[in-house]
Amino acid sequence: MSDFNKIARDYITLWNETDTARRARLLGEQWTSAATYVDPLAKVKGHDEIGAYIGGVHQRFPDYRFALLGEAEGHGEHLRFSWSLGPAGAEAPIEGSDVVTLESGRIANVVGFLDKLPQPA
Residue 95 confidence (pLDDT) above 80: yes
Cα gap 120→118, rounded to integer Å: 6
Residue 15 confidence (pLDDT) above 60: yes
Domains observed in the chain: 4-116 (3.10.450.50)
Tens digits of per-residue pLDDT, 20-62?
A: 999 999 999 999 999 999 999 999 999 999 999 999 999 999 9
Q: Which residue type is seen at 93?
A: P
Cα gap 80→73, rounded to integer Å: 5
